[in-house]
Amino acid sequence: MKTTYLLLVISFIFGKQAMAENINDINHQDSQEESIAPNDFDFELGTWKVKHRRLRNMFSDKKEWLEFEGSSSTTKILGGYGNLEDNVLHFPDNSFRAVAIRSYDSATKKWSIWWLDGRSPNKLDAPVIGSFKNKVGLFYAEEVLNGIQTKIRFKWDSSKQENPKWEQAFSFDDGVTWETNWTMSFSPAN
């Protein structure tokens, strides 16, 4: 009986030490992952006021621009390998929410960005995929929009970190020419 009790106590002590070592290993891995996580979108972390400028009809020759306000709040997810941008957009005729979900693939060194629009909450757009170079990020996708094969480009310019800019452009000629149809200019909310 004493031997069984002694074995249980020894197992408990060594088990606790092994568990503590595993926790230390996990904490060490977490700190390593965070230290090498990409920082391309760190400029956007926090809360922002957003000035939007968007074509009323992106598939028309008539170039009537709408201007409206919004707000945005971005936080890191996935241990720094992703982020979530929560948006409120105040269109002239209504307000709604939307979310940008971004994740980084360390194997390809590329970001994927998905857009979820609160007006169509069961439809997640195909991701635009790309990377940053010299504080400019270019991200591309291809979709059929309004029955037209369309290349999509997102461009992030973080050269002025206190005032980053985003734009969306479409190409209907396989990327030969691009038409910008939406811009966002960010300024700190505080």
Domain spans, the chain: 1-36, 42-188
- Per-residue pLDDT tens for 28-70? 444 444 447 899 999 999 999 999 999 988 777 788 999 999 9
Distance in angstroms (rounded) separating the CA atoms of residues 80 and 103: 9
Cβ partners under 8 Å of residue 99, min gap 6: 84, 85, 86, 87, 115, 116, 118
Q: Report the predicted TM-score, pTM, of the whole model to 2 decimal places.
A: 0.78
- The CATH number fitting domain 42-188, selected from 1.10.3720.10, 2.40.50.100, 2.40.128.20, 2.60.40.1120: 2.40.128.20
Distance in angstroms (rounded) separating the CA atoms of residues 138 and 144: 20
- Per-residue pLDDT tens for 3-20? 443 334 334 434 444 444
What pLDDT was estimated at residue 49?
Answer: 98
What pLDDT was estimated at residue 28?
Answer: 41
10, 51, 167, 176 from 69: Cα distances, Å: 65, 5, 15, 32
The closest of 119, 9, 160, 157 to 168, measured between CA atoms, is 157
Q: Following DSSP, what letter does each residue of 116-136 receive, concatenated?
A: EETTSTT-BPPPEEEEEETTE
